Copies of this chain bind each other. A is one copy, B any other.
């Protein structure tokens, strides 16, 4: 039986040279692990001498401790009798409990924006900042949805629309409508159970879930949460260590994942300033002198040690050699790269700018889509590859527009996190139901009875390239000192 350690004892070991923390009731001496922590020294030091569970959980599957920490680092179990809850944690828990109690009823949620509004009140500041932020001025993040608003519909009338079939297939797998839940990181920031909640809701609705490399839940947890016949894909951040990458890919395939989505738009992580502002912590005294530590870039820079920024086209052959899963490149943003992917025999591409979290001023997927489709048709490659898009999808009309322009399906990320954070699994199910209802109604009102018939003849995209109003530049605007005319001195 493990030795008991008192909270008072732990509290004494709170510096860089002597750093203990509590995680899930175990006490660890992380002094020697500090420099090896991929997330940086500072985030651990912030917890030195304290219970780090709340900070640990969203960022790591619980199994990671066994994998990375030698057993001797565990000094014993915390003596529960010595633990006193902090006032801060209490107050945040109180706030959340109160907001949860006063939530609207779930069936009052009428659209995806409702979930976002409720989630923005329920989430911790840190979680909201992480989920909602985009790169730099967030122009691309907002453009993603805005671009859909430059596409108008051409509804046909006097069609029998008593039966509307919105089902489709993705890489040959049935999907109840042309949408999959895309990979998003750190689900436990929003819900204590994390991404398995999405797994279950996806099963309810017969849509496909993409398992993220950076999930809070482990691969096993997510795979085990599968329902009968449920399909999952795997999203991969290629690790700089080719052996690790191979192990991960083989595991995903072994566990029954049906496709490998390789993220190609994040050789480095983008600058998400809302997130950076909240991550900022004043260095403890004993770190003040260390000039080389960029305290405010912890997370992003840290990720880089997990992601291979050397990945290149030539490496795709190697992936083919280690897996028989279909390969899809996630994060294609130009016609040139789309054609290249098709020529190299990829089974699919996701036109995506990573939800506007990577390179600000990258164009929206929906804007690129018609160019990509046209180029692939000219090359005779359009029917050799499936095209998906993600970014900014919030309405059934958005899905309709994407499909009409030639996408096979759309991915949706943030809204799933918001629905999950606000209402758990029923929330995600309701959000998916709303999208289905909206899509079905859009098709009925446009006079389209099945996904297969949905084509560009139902759209007016003449305005798509007219960026008459670029999303507002709030930073510029808020520091700008406006001219004022002289008034009377009254």
Complex contact B445–A265 (CB within 8 A): yes
A2: chain B residues at CB < 8 Å are none
Choice from B103, B108, B362, B363 contacting A296 with Cβ under 8 Å:
B108
- Answer yes or no: A83 CB below 8 A from chain B CBs: no
Determine if A347 is an interface residue (Cβ-Cβ < 8 Å): no
Indicate if the CB atoms of B470 and A113 lie closer than 8 Å: no
Instruction: Report which of B309, B397, B441, B476 forms a contact with A162, defined as CB distance below 8 A.
Output: B309
**A110-B296, A118-B488 known; A149-B470 Cβ under 8 A:** yes
Within 8 A of B (CB), among A428-464: 437-438, 441-442, 444-446, 460, 462-463
Chain B residues, Cβ within 8 Å of A488: 99, 102-104, 117-118, 121-122
CB of A482 within 8 Å of the partner chain: yes
Please tell me which stretch of A17-25, A61-69, A184-192, A275-283 contacts chain B, meaning at least 4 of its Cβ atoms lie within 8 angstroms of it: A275-283
| Inter-chain contacts of A161 with B (CB < 8 A) | 267-268, 309-310
Q: Which of A210-218, A224-232, A329-337, A379-387 contacts B (4 or more CB under 8 A)?
A: A329-337
A160 to chain B: which residues have CB within 8 Å? 309-312
Specify which chain B residues have a CB less than 8 angstroms from the CB of A79 in the assembled complex.
none
Q: Taking CB as reference atom, which chain B residue is nearest A334?
A: B154
Q: Which residue of B lies closest to A470 (CB)?
A: B149
Are A158 and B337 closer than 8 Å at their CB atoms? Answer: yes
CB neighbours of A113 from chain B (8 A): 475-476, 478-479, 485
**Which chain A residues numbered 324 to 353 have a C-beta less than 8 Å away from chain B?**
329, 331-334, 336-337, 353
Pick from B438, B460, B485, B487: contact of A111, CB below 8 A.
B485
Q: Which residues of B contact A29 (CB under 8 A)?
A: none
A105 within 8 A of B: yes
Digitize A48-75: 1 where CB-to-B-CB distance is under 8 Å, 0 elsewhere. Answer: 0000000000000000000000000000
Does A150 count as interface, using CB distance less than 8 angstroms?
Answer: yes
Q: Which residues in B have their C-beta under 8 angstroms from that of A484?
A: 474-475, 478
User: Of the candidates B138, B152, B280, B315, which one forms a contact with A483 in the assembled complex, judged by CB atoms under 8 Å apart?
Assistant: B138
Q: Does A155 contact B (CB under 8 A)?
A: yes
A271 CB-CB contact with B under 8 Å: yes
Chain B residue nearest in CB terms to A487: B117
- Contact B474 A155, beta carbon cutoff 8 Å: no
- Dominant SS among interface residues on chain A: loop
Q: A152-B361, A152-B363, A474-B482 are in contact. Are A444 and B268 (CB under 8 A)?
A: yes
When the two chains form their complex, are residues B277 and A110 in contact, meaning their CB atoms are under 8 A apart? yes
Known: A107-B296, A282-B105, A361-B153. A116 touches B274 (CB 8 A): no
- One of B159, B329, B441, B489 near A102 (C-beta < 8 A): B489
CB pair A445–B268 under 8 Å, yes or no, is yes
Q: Are A363 and B485 in contact (CB under 8 A)?
A: no
Q: Which of these, B146, B155, B466, contacts A359 with CB under 8 Å?
A: B155
User: Is B445 touching A490 in the complex (CB atoms < 8 A)?
Assistant: no
CA distance A105 to B281 in the complex (A): 10
Seen from chain A, the residues whose Cβ lies within 8 Å of a Cβ on chain B are 98-99, 102-105, 107-111, 113-114, 116-118, 120-122, 128, 132, 136-139, 142, 145-146, 149-162, 264-265, 267-268, 270-271, 273-274, 276-277, 280, 282, 294-296, 309-313, 315-316, 329, 331-334, 336-337, 353, 358-363, 394-395, 397, 437-438, 441-442, 444-446, 460, 462-463, 465-470, 473-476, 478-490
Rank and list the top 5 A-B pairs by shortest CB-CB distance, nearest first: A468-B468, A113-B475, A359-B445, A117-B485, A157-B264
List 20 extra interface pairs beyond A108-B486, A468-B469, CB under 8 A.
Answer: A99-B488, A110-B486, A113-B475, A113-B478, A117-B487, A146-B476, A149-B470, A152-B363, A154-B334, A155-B333, A156-B336, A157-B337, A158-B264, A158-B313, A159-B267, A462-B465, A468-B468, A474-B484, A478-B484, A479-B485
List 27 A-B residue pairs with CB atoms under 8 Å apart, sorted by A's residue number: A107-B294, A109-B486, A110-B273, A113-B479, A114-B486, A121-B488, A122-B488, A128-B481, A146-B476, A152-B361, A154-B333, A154-B363, A155-B333, A157-B329, A158-B311, A158-B315, A158-B337, A160-B309, A161-B267, A271-B437, A271-B441, A274-B481, A274-B483, A360-B395, A474-B482, A474-B483, A475-B484
